[in-house]
Chain A
C-alpha cells in the first residue's frame, strides 16, 4: 500500500504540486492524468525522490526511501538516449543491478531472469539488438522487462504511450493487466485522454493538486474534468459504450 501525505513540490517559487494526499492500494493500475503542466511527472518524480519535496511517502507503512528496490521507474522516451551503446539485454540486466550488488558481476541466474523477462514481453529474439533499432512499442516492452527483472512491485511509467502505435499500446496494456493480477501496482502518467482511460482501475486527476482520486467510474465525470481542464472538453458516450473525450 502506497501512502502519500501532504506531498508538495516547489519549483522556483511556484507550487508545482500542492499537498497531495492519497492512498494507492496494491493490485491496481492507476492512471495519472491532467492537462499540461498539471504536475503529473512532478508527482511521480517526487515520490521517487528524484526531486525535492515536502510531505511523506510510505510503502507498506515504512518510508519508501528505504525500499527503493521495490520501485521501477520507466522514464519518458525523450529522456533516454537511444544512440546509447546498449543492447536490449544490457537494458534488462540493469534491472538486476541492485540485486547483484556492489563489486560483483552478473551470474547465470541473473542472465536466466533477464531471459525470462524478455520472453514475458515477447522480446527475446531482440536480445542482441541495439536499443535504438527498436520501435517505440518495443522499447517500452524492454523497459517493462527491466522492471520485471528487477522484481519490483511498484512500477512507474512516465508517458509510456508517446510515439507508440495502437497495436503496441494494446499489447502493453495487456501486459499491465497481467502484472496487476500478479499483485503489482502500476502508476501510469498519461496525458492522452482517449480510449486508454478505460484501461485504468483508478484515476488520479491532477491540476497542481489532487482534483480527484478513486476508481475510474467515480472520478471520470464532467465536473472533475471541468475542474482540471477548465471546461474545454466535451464527452460523449460512443456507440459501443466507451467514453470519448474531445478537447
Chain B
C-alpha cells in the first residue's frame, strides 16, 4: 500500500474525517493555551483545572445547562479556592492545588457515575475521550471554541505577553491583570472541555504541555513558540490518529505518545537547548557579554 493510499484510506469514513478535524482543532487550541501555561509557570494549575471541571460538567448535565458554562464555573471556583487556601493559611500553592483538584475530580466521578445511566453518558468518554464518536454538532462546537480561542489570543497577544513576562510591570502600567487572568482562565476551561472528546480529561494536559514544551526548547519568541507548538500539536494529533487506526490502539494516548516523541527529539537535539547538542559541541563559544557601550558613555 503506497503512502497516498495509506493517508486516504481512513478518510473515506465520515467518522474518521470528523475525528481528524476534531483532533486538528483540539491539537491547535491545546497547543496555544498550553504555551501560555508553560511560560506563566502555571502548568500545575492547568493540570488541576483539567480535572476540576468534572463536577461542573455533571451539574450542567443535571440542570440541562450548557456544559461549557459548567466547566468554566467549576474551573474558576477551583482556582479561586486554591488561591483562598493559599493566601489564608500556611499551605503552599502546590498542596492547595492537589487538594482542590482531587476533591473536585472525585466529586465529578461520583456525580457522573450517578447520572450516567439516565443521561446515556459514559464516564470513560469523559476520562479518555471518544474521538470516534464525534458528531457534526460536536465538531461545530469545537470549531467555534477554536475560533474564539485563536481570535482572543491574537487580539490580546501583546497584553498577554507583557503580563505573562512581567506581571508587576504590567500591573503598574495599568493593564487590567485580573481581567486578563479571567479571560485566559475562561479560554483554558473552554479548551479543556472542547478537548475532552479527543483525548479525555486525564490526558488533555499532556496535549497542552507537550507541543508547547517542544517549541519552548526551539524558539526565543513567544509568538514563534505558539506557532511552532500549534504545528507540533496538529502533526501529533494527525499522526496519532492514523497510528491508532492502523495499529488498532486507543487514539488519545496515541496522540500523546507522538507528541512525546517530538518532545524527546527537541530535548535532545534543539540547536540551542538540546542535551545532546551541548554534548556534541562541547567547545562552542559563550555568547559575548560586553556589547556596545551607550553613546552617552563616551563623555570626557
Contacts and interface: CB of A to CB of B under 8 A. Distances in A.
On whether A and B touch (CB less than 8 Å), the answer reads yes
Interface of A: 45, 48-50, 68-69, 71-75, 79-81, 84-87, 90-91, 93-94, 97-98, 100, 102-103, 105-106, 119-126, 128-130, 133-135, 138, 141, 150, 156, 171, 174-175, 178
B287 interface: yes
Given A50-B168, A75-B168, A126-B291, A97 B158 contact: yes
B165 A97 contact: no
B119 interface: no
Nearest to B159: A97
B161 A90 contact: yes
B120 interface: no
A216 B289 CA distance: 34
B231 interface: no
Interface residues of B, number: 36
A84 B225 CA distance: 11
B294 A121 contact: yes
B40 to A, nearest CB: 9
30 contacts: A48-B168, A68-B173, A68-B174, A72-B172, A73-B169, A73-B172, A74-B169, A84-B164, A85-B219, A85-B220, A86-B161, A86-B221, A91-B165, A94-B166, A97-B159, A97-B162, A97-B170, A98-B174, A98-B175, A100-B158, A102-B155, A103-B156, A122-B294, A128-B220, A129-B287, A141-B294, A171-B293, A174-B297, A174-B299, A178-B296
Contacts of A125: 291-292
Given A73-B169, A103-B155, A90 B222 contact: yes
Interface of B: 39, 41, 155-156, 158-159, 161-162, 164-166, 168-175, 216, 219-222, 224-225, 287, 289, 291-297, 299
A102 B173 contact: no
Contacts of B156: 102-103
Interface centre among A49, A74, A98 (most CB of B within 10 A): A98
Nearest to A44: B172
